[in-house]
């Protein structure tokens, strides 16, 4: 009978220790080690399914089955780098209720419709009638889409080998367990062991596998962070609770770029691709925008026009507050300090609130100038030209620094009807069309003078 041993596993990073410690030696978090009993598995002498003899690189042949397979959903294929690679294990993570199961079911239906072999959808969270109800709402018939309700990994692998599907989807990895480990499903060791076996099976059969994983803030259930070193690709489905838009973002991809994003809108019929994402993040009415500026940001290879809004108000407390929604809080502090010191705006007694419309998170410094203009517009209560965009990084001395791929950003702005752009003085980009004007600015003061040319609505409280 296999022996048992006692280990202490960190619920945050999965590190195992032979004895209890107050601080995890792996992630250095306090009070995250929990006692677990592990059954020692006796190793066997059989060869691994991936074991083979060394082969020269020039002798390796790439067959047609090793190429990428498009899923039929352009936004997902974009994030994956063109489609699924044979034998890959892809993890889609996200908070509960964000739409992971809906997206995976839509992907399974598209693959089943275009493939000659069936697609297997394994669910440990929902019964087959419940999945059928969701499929009916999404308009999925699913003649070659097979459903399996199972959580035992050995049984799942046995069914996969008998069916020989073109693709396998497991929803979710936290519900799958193996009998070799005497731990509850969702534990750190269970998740890690099950993912490792699925990787081995996918590589041996050259069948792509997609798994779903929940993300929780309290760390009670092992999330996708534990699996990032095991799987081939990690995708996160993000979105604000109050918004119908979802962003599929890649944080790891062994076969493609990690900078691409896919944008969807949650509707009654499921997740629908957004064909023109720039219009999603812009306000419908931009006749006389006060405290608002537009900037083209790059999400991978795609330029997106987003609107940054700002509001300044005399603080009611001794310490003024700075609030950032969709912007990096550290960048907001820098921009506010530069405006106070270099542009002589008296923001020391003002609460400054900055937000990106549409629920998108903007991290690149190219949005600094637009945020500065939005803050100054709100403080002075002067409208900004609705046909103006602002691109540039703000330095600590107030200078406007250049940004990469400026011409692509300008072309996207011209396509959506913008006719004027504030760009860094060092930029060498050309105007995308004849009626498009480029205004080169050296510093923040010059940029504010060029941007704030509208009418003053009312006198602000600070003046």
346 annotated to bind ligand: no
Among candidates 356, 446, 354, 363, which has minimal Cα distance to 400?
446
404 annotated to bind ligand: no
Terminal CA-to-CA distance of the chain, rounded, Å? 82
Q: How many CA within 13 A on the CB side of residue 413?
A: 32
25 annotated to bind ligand: no
Among candidates 361, 218, 376, 204, which has minimal Cα distance to 290?
376
Show the beta-strand stretches assigned E in 132-232: 145-149, 167-171, 209-214
87 annotated to bind ligand: no
95 annotated to bind ligand: yes
Tally of CB atoms within 10 A around 71: 22
Query: Helix, strand, or coil here: 258?
Result: coil
Q: Pairing relation of β-strands 302-314 and 292-299?
A: antiparallel
- Residue 50 burial class via C-beta count within 10 angstroms: exposed 0-12, middle 13-18, buried 19 and up: exposed
CB 8 within 8 A of CB 34: yes
- Torsion (CA) 283, 284, 288, 290 in degrees, nearest 10: -20
User: Which tokens belong to 368?
Assistant: 């600094």
96 annotated to bind ligand: yes
Query: Helix, strand, or coil here: 103?
Result: helix
303 annotated to bind ligand: no
123 annotated to bind ligand: no
Tally of CB atoms within 10 A around 273: 14
Separation of alpha carbons 62 and 82, rounded Å: 17
Q: Binding site residues, as ranges? A: 94-101
Q: Binding site residues for ATP, as ranges? A: 94-101
């Amino acid at each position: 009978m296999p022996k048992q041993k006692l280990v202490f596993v960190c619920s945050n990073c999965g590190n195992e220790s032979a004895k209890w410690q107050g601080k995890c030696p792996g992630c250095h978090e306090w009070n995250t080690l929990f006692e677990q009993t592990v059954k020692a598995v006796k190793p066997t002498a059989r060869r691994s399914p991936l074991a083979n003899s060394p082969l020269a690189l020039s002798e390796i042949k790439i067959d047609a089955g090793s190429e990428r397979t498009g899923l039929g959903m352009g936004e997902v294929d974009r994030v994956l780098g063109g489609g699924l690679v044979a034998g890959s294990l892809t993890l889609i993570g996200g908070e509960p209720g964000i739409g992971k199961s809906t997206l995976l079911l839509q992907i399974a239906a598209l693959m089943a419709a275009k493939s000659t072999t069936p697609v297997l959808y394994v669910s440990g969270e929902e019964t087959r009638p419940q999945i059928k109800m969701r499929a009916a709402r999404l308009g999925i018939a699913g003649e070659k889409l097979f459903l399996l309700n199972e959580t035992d990994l050995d049984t799942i692998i046995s069914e996969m080998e008998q069916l020989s599907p073109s693709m396998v989807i497991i929803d979710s990895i936290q519900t799958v367990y193996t009998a070799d480990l005497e731990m509850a499903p969702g534990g750190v060791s269970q998740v890690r062991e099950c993912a490792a076996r699925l990787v081995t099976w996918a590589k041996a059969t050259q069948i792509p596998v997609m798994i779903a994983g929940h993300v929780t803030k309290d760390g009670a259930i092992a999330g996708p962070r534990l699996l990032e070193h095991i799987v081939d690709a990690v995708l996160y489905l993000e979105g604000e609770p109050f918004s119908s838009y979802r962003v599929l973002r890649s944080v790891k991809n062994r076969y493609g770029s990690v900078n691409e994003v896919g944008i969807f809108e949650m509707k009654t019929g499921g997740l629908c691709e957004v064909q023109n994402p720039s219009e999603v993040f812009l306000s419908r009415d931009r006749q006389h925008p006060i405290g608002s500026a537009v900037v083209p940001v790059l999400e991978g290879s795609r330029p997106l026009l987003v609107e940054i809004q700002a509001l300044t108000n005399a603080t009611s407390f001794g310490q003024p507050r700075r609030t950032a929604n969709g912007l990096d809080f550290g960048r907001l502090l820098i921009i506010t300090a530069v405006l106070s010191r270099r542009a002589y705006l008296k923001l020391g007694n003002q609460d400054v609130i900055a937000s990106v419309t549409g629920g998108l998170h903007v991290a690149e410094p190219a949005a600094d100038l637009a945020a500065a203009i939005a803050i100054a517009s709100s403080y002075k209560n002067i409208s900004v030209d609705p046909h103006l965009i602002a691109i540039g990084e703000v330095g600590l001395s107030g200078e406007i620094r250049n940004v990469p791929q400026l011409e692509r950003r300008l072309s996207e702005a011209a396509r959506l009807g913008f006719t004027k752009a504030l760009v860094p003085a060092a930029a060498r980009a050309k105007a995308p069309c004849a009626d498009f004007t480029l205004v080169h600015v050296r510093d923040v003061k010059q940029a504010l003078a060029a941007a704030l040319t509208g009418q003053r609505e009312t006198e602000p409280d600070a003046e």
